[in-house]
Amino acid sequence: MRVLVTGPDGVLGSNLVRELLTRHYEVSVFLLKETKAQTLNGLAINRLYGNVLNPSDLDLCFQNQDVVIHCAAATNVFPARNASVNRVNIEGTQNVIDAALKHKIQRLIYVGTANSFGFGETLDNLGKEFSPYKSSKYGLDYMDSKMHAQEMILNAVKLRQLPALVVNPTFMIGPYDSKPSSGIMVMALHKGKIPGYTAGGKNYIAVKDAAVAIANSLTMGKIGECYILGNENLSYQEAFEKISKAIGVNPPKRKLNTFMVIAYGRINSFFATVFKYYPSVTKELAIISCDSHFYSAEKAKNELALPQTPIEVAAKECFDWFVSNGYIK
């Protein structure tokens, strides 16, 4: 089977491409021309170049493919309202839909986010695939655009017979995080740069588990359905304790005051706007960190055979990769 992966050089894509190769698929990757994609070096893949905003690029690359896995997305959260993020995530996804239909792709797998469903705030009320979207309250074009793109995929299934399904990972941790993305938290814990934990929490998943479930979705799962890919629902205190233990450091002990956390986020956003830098904490991220975003992955476990690797294992694999590649000394 011939499989094309867009956005293959992120932490998910890099693990996914490896998982597909272990299954002996013929793998092509769709990259921006300026992308070095060092995490893909040495792999038996076909590199294709273009931009999801250019339909002609997609036309060339979708030819002779059986399955397309659309991972590519703009994930910037600052500024919160961002026309570029909307273009890539919405217009780019529309172009992918049109190309998939034009070239009669057998299955399109859209990689969304669990944030596109309403989150549970307690462990006895978990967010599921039918939970109404809540994250519009944060005012982030990243979240809103991913929700919009997911709706476009599902509408195309209903109205245009697009053979697509959606996978919705939660917070992924693991190796090959070259940007780095989620691994920033692992690095910060190792360096002792996280002063404390906020009142919130989230769902965590080993990125390798997400990759397995997505690879399974080439032949498993149902067209027109969504699947939350997650594992452990943890408060930030619990997550920091587990990750810190896995990488051999002491976890932060102090619970941060919610008012002060949000105030810091507001101040940081203000100065980032004035002095033109990309802040590590924004007003929106500060607010999000004080909420709990808990989800159920039962549907994906049942229908996509989603594995459930402990978060400690994923954190150690992430840490070891950073050490091996010079990110951590």
Domains of the chain: 2-176+205-230+296-302 (3.40.50.720)
Q: What rounded mean pLDDT belongs to the chain?
A: 97
Rounded to whole angstroms, how far apart are CA atoms 198 and 216? Answer: 36
Rounded to whole angstroms, how far apart are CA atoms 268 and 83? Answer: 22
Dig out the tokens for 205 from the structure. Answer: 């998943």
Rounded to whole angstroms, how far apart are CA atoms 321 and 19? Answer: 17
Looking at residue 20, its pLDDT comes to 98
Count of C-beta atoms within a 10 Å radius of residue 84? 11
Model confidence over 138-170: pLDDT tens digits?
Answer: 999 999 999 999 999 999 999 999 999 999 999
Secondary structure (3-state) at 124: coil
Q: What angle do CA 289, 292, 297 make, to 5 degrees?
A: 125
Q: What angle do CA 12, 18, 23 make, to 5 degrees?
A: 125
Residue 267: exposed, middle, or buried by beta-carbon count in 10 A (0-12, 13-18, 19+)?
Answer: middle
pLDDT band, residue 326 (cuts 50/70/90): very high
- For 105-114, what is the mean pLDDT? 98
pLDDT band, residue 58 (cuts 50/70/90): very high
Dig out the tokens for 204 from the structure. Answer: 């965590």
Q: What angle do CA 209, 210, 212 make, to 5 degrees?
A: 65
Q: Are 284 and 135 contacting, i.e. CB atoms less than 8 angstroms apart?
A: no
Whole-Å CA distances, 86 to 78, 94, 98, 141, 180: 13, 11, 18, 7, 22
Is pLDDT above 90 for 35? Answer: no
Looking at residue 173, its pLDDT comes to 98
